[in-house]
Structure 1
Amino acid sequence: MKKNIAIIMGGYSSEYQISLTSGNVVYETLDTEKYTPYRIHIFENKWVHVDDNNNEFTVDKNDFSVMVNNTKISFDCVFNAIHGSPGEDGFMQGYFELLNMPHTSCNMYQAALTFNKRDLLSVLKPYGIKTAESFYLNLGDPINEDTIIAKVGLPCFVKANKAGSSFGVSKAHKKEDLQKAIEVAFKEDDEIIIESFLDGIEVSVGVITYKGKTTVLPITEIVSENDFFDYEAKYLGKSQEITPARLTKVQEEKVIAEAKKVYEVLKMKGFSRSEFIFKDGEPHLLEMNTVPGLTRESILPQQAAAANISLTELFDNAIQEALK
């Protein structure tokens, strides 16, 4: 009997449009011999199933079911395609875990931890994971540019602590840039992280649980036409994404080992995509995404293709792992 799969998409953050695109790719790609997919839009003002004619049916939050033409639809598994809150920060994971409903993403704690850049890097440092020098600010803290520069140097990156898709990220080249960059970051979050600039090869490493094993996918090298890998570079074609990355064998082995170590130290499940920059030949972790983009142009699907894993196989595997 075919299993009912709820593909959740949308969300409460600036990333909702990208999430809708990812979710629709999953909807169009799932093996309909095995699954009956349902698009579930999760927004602050409504949770609804949207059918192919754009009719909306309200989700019952008591048991995450939906009534369609007087028939109650319950779900065997949830495919999480929400980037940002509430799909990537632990809220949906906690909800589904309370309902005892299988879902394709990591557990609640791992989602909350990885969504918080500052906490993630702090947890991983004792395990020897290298990171950039950093400085933390909360909304309302006094801002002393000289103190910040003494810690992280120039240029530096100013980032919203809990945001994705490069929303709230700026590169400050001189002292005068810092105040504006901090204001941009605070528009996305009330916590920010300011990091030293690492000048080196940037790579994105997909790690998934595939057929029961931690699997590192072919690595992607990021070459941005812009000053850094910002929103335009990610989504508007202003970058080269080269898979497999042009790394030496030693570099490749090092970053594969680090990415796998991070995934296993955190007891991760499902998809992940971690960003690293090489400094002095060593990979330094920038961040980890636990609901990475799943559009046909996104990095993780590109990496899966390079590993001869089709989108249908990739998504089927995620559901099968969740159903275990």
Structure 2
Amino acid sequence: MKKKIAIAMGGYSSEYRISINSGNMVYKNLDRSKYEPYRVHIMQHEWFVVADDDTPYPINKSNFTVKIKDKVIVFDCVFNTIHGTPGENGLLQAYLNLVGIPQTSCDFYQAALTFNKRDLISVLKPYGIKTAINYFLNKGDEVLVDEIVGKVGLPCFVKANKSGSSFGITKVKNAEDLEQAIKFAFKEDDEIIIESFLDGTEVSVGVITYKGEVLALPVTEIVSENEFFDYEAKYLGKSQEITPARISDEQTLEVQEIAKHIYSRLKMRGLTRSEFIFHNNQAHFIEMNTTPGLSEASILPQQAAKANISLTDLFGSAIEAAL
């Protein structure tokens, strides 16, 4: 009997449109001989299944079922493609755990940890993972410009602590621009992280559980036409994404091993993508994405293709691991 798969997409954050694209890519590529997929839109005020004729059917939140034409659909698994809240910060994972439905991404604790850049960096540092120099602010804290610049230097990056797709990020070159960048970041989150500038080659490493094994995918080099790998660079073609990356074999192996080490130490599951910058020829960790983009423009599908893994196999393996 075919497994009924709910593809969760949308979300409550600025990334919901990107998530819809990812979810539709999963829907398009799932093996119909094994799975019966349903597009489930998780929106701020309503959760519903979108039928092939675009009719919406509301999800029963008490048990995550849906009634379609007098038939109640009970899902065997949820394929989580939500970027941002509630699918990337652990809320959806915790809910599905309570109602007893397996899902394809990491567990709720790991999702909450990795979604919080500040806390993730703090957890990884004892394992010797190199990162930028960081300064943290909560909304309402006094902004001490001289202290911040003295610690992280200029230029620096001001980021929303719990946000993705480069929303709420500014590269600051002058001290007088720092407060405005902080205000901009606080529009996305009530916590921000200010990082020292790392000068070097930026790379992205997909690490997945594939057919029962932890696998590091081919490394992608990111060359942005803009100041950094911002929203335009990620989604509007303002960057080159070169797979495999133009780095040495030794650097490739090094960054893949670090990414796998992080994945294993955090007891991750599912599809992940971690970002690094080779600063002074050493890989410095930037962040981990536990529900990476899966649209045609996304990096992880490009890496899977270079590893000769089809999207059908990639998505099917994630479901089988969850089940």
Q: Same fold (TM over 0.5)?
A: yes
* 1:1-324 → structure 2 map (5 Å cutoff): 1-323=1-323
How far off its partner does 1:188 sit?
0.2
SS at match of 1:215: strand
C-alpha distance in 2, partners of 1:290/1:117?
Answer: 12
User: Aligned residue pairs: how many?
Assistant: 323
C-alpha distance in 2, partners of 1:12/1:55?
Answer: 21
How far off its partner does 1:100 sit?
1.6
Aligned-partner residue type, residue 11 of structure 1: G
Gaps of 5+ in 1: none
Gaps of 5+ in 2: none
C-alpha distance in 1, partners of 2:173/2:98?
Answer: 47
Aligned-partner residue type, residue 213 of structure 1: E
C-alpha distance in 2, partners of 1:305/1:249?
Answer: 20
How far off its partner does 1:54 sit?
1.1
C-alpha distance in 1, partners of 2:210/2:30?
Answer: 17
How far off its partner does 1:253 sit?
1.6
C-alpha distance in 1, partners of 2:235/2:152?
Answer: 29
How far off its partner does 1:310 sit?
0.6
C-alpha distance in 2, partners of 1:218/1:296?
Answer: 17
C-alpha distance in 1, partners of 2:122/2:25?
Answer: 35
Aligned-partner residue type, residue 27 of structure 1: Y
Aligned-partner residue type, residue 158 of structure 2: V
How far off its partner does 1:176 sit?
1.4
Aligned-partner residue type, residue 194 of structure 2: I
How far off its partner does 1:153 sit?
0.1
C-alpha distance in 2, partners of 1:303/1:73?
Answer: 34
C-alpha distance in 2, partners of 1:96/1:23?
Answer: 18
How much is the aligned-residue C-alpha RMSD, in angstroms? 0.5
How far off its partner does 1:312 sit?
0.6
How far off its partner does 1:318 sit?
0.4
How far off its partner does 1:202 sit?
0.2
C-alpha distance in 1, partners of 2:27/2:251?
Answer: 37
- Runs of 4 or more, structure 1, over 6 Å off, are none
Aligned-partner residue type, residue 253 of structure 1: L
How far off its partner does 1:52 sit?
1.3
C-alpha distance in 2, partners of 1:253/1:307?
Answer: 15
SS at match of 1:201: strand
How far off its partner does 1:322 sit?
0.4
The share of aligned pairs that are identical, in percent, is 64
C-alpha distance in 2, partners of 1:315/1:294?
Answer: 10
C-alpha distance in 2, partners of 1:184/1:38?
Answer: 37
Aligned-partner residue type, residue 146 of structure 1: D
Aligned-partner residue type, residue 130 of structure 2: K
